[in-house]
Amino acid sequence: MRRTASALPFVLLGLGVFVLVLSQLLAGYVEPRVKRTPVNIESTSVLTGTGSYFDTSAVSTVRGKRLTVTRRIVGDVTASERSGNAVWNVSTQIDSPGTLALRDPRKSLQWTTERWVTDRRTNRPVHCCGEQPSFAGDAYLKFPFDVQKRTYTWWDGVLGAAVPLKFSGTTQVLGHEGYLFTGAVAPRRTDVARQVPGALVGRPGQSQVKAEQWYANARIELVVERRTGRIMNARIAPKITLRAPGAQRDAVTLLASNRLEFTDATRRAQVAQSSADSSRLEALGETAPAYGTVAGGVLAAAGLTLLVRGRRRPAVDEASQRVDRTHTGD
């Protein structure tokens, strides 16, 4: 019994110090290393809405049709591990009901493939590993971790440039709070030129012309989960048109919609993943260190208290024995 009692203060003190150190490791070492953009990723997001598109079979723009934008992301794990960055292969296709039924991206209204390379910690672009195209900005497929209430630059692949998105408050997506960022793109000429019949863009005297592609986006709304930077909902209003070289007005509408937005299934998937990742980061970076610090402090304090009391008790006992001997001698 005496051995257990005398060892208890040291056990409590040691355990308290261990918990305190572990708490600091979680907050300062483990959590920052968990806070990295994933490389082993395979996901699909879908936006739908109503709009217009150029029907090549009818050689005219049809309106009031359902449009579907499908984006697939597959991480290149080998390239990511070799470079230390996040390397993602991205496929984006835009479909009408007719092309969507074909289940062949090559027959879509528009299909693009890209390769994005970002720093896993900062989310900044890294120009290596076969990146295509070269891009800039703070955000694209996701925002950085620990999103702030400020303006971010979001890479718009159609425009081929970064667009400022300002913080516009908080909002809920399926009960999960996120930061809302909004912006717009005024009509701008892109770097893309399309070889088309002159008559299509108001130049009937020319058999073929290199038409200018113009792009606008009347409303960009992204709802972002604060800790992870994941986009829980997206809403855009794109418009892609053609103009004759040097013309001031659009001649053909290739694609236009007042509202394309994540489907319910995509929102549910994004919120579920965001919630799970956010909870894990909160546990490692906030909850566990906070509780660990309190628990470690209590254990260490209890051990020190018992240790001090244990040292005082022999002194008191020795003093009592001296008093007893004095009385006995009298």
DSSP readout, 269-316?
HHHHHHHHHHHHHHIIIIIHHHHHHHHHHHHHHHHHHHHHHHHHHHHH
Flag whether 6 is in a domain. Answer: no
Q: Residues 278-327: pLDDT tens digits?
A: 777 766 555 555 545 655 555 445 556 666 666 655 554 554 555 455 55
Q: Residues 98-149: pLDDT tens digits?
A: 999 999 999 999 999 999 999 998 999 999 999 999 999 999 889 999 999 9
Flag whether 301 is in a domain. Answer: no
Flag whether 96 is in a domain. Answer: yes
Flag whether 51 is in a domain. Answer: yes
Flag whether 326 is in a domain. Answer: no
Q: What pLDDT score does 294 carry?
A: 56
Of the pLDDT bands very low, low, confident and very high (cuts 50, 70, 90), residue 262 is very high
Flag whether 13 is in a domain. Answer: no
Average pLDDT, the chain: 84
In contact, 125 and 110? CB cutoff 8 Å: no
The torsion defined by the Cα of 155, 158, 164 and 165, in degrees rounded to 10, comes to: -90
Query: Which of these, 71, 76, 93, 72, lies nearest to 37 by C-alpha position?
Result: 76
**Bond into 133 cis (ω within 30):** yes
Flag whether 102 is in a domain. Answer: yes
Query: Which of these, 159, 47, 35, 139, lies nearest to 93 by C-alpha position?
Result: 47
Residue 209, classed as helix, strand or coil, is strand
Which residues constitute the domain of residue 149? 28-283
d(CA 128, CA 126): 6
Q: Count how many domains the chain has.
A: 1
Flag whether 312 is in a domain. Answer: no
pTM for the model stands at: 0.79
Measured CA angle at 27 (ends 273, 281), to 5 deg: 5
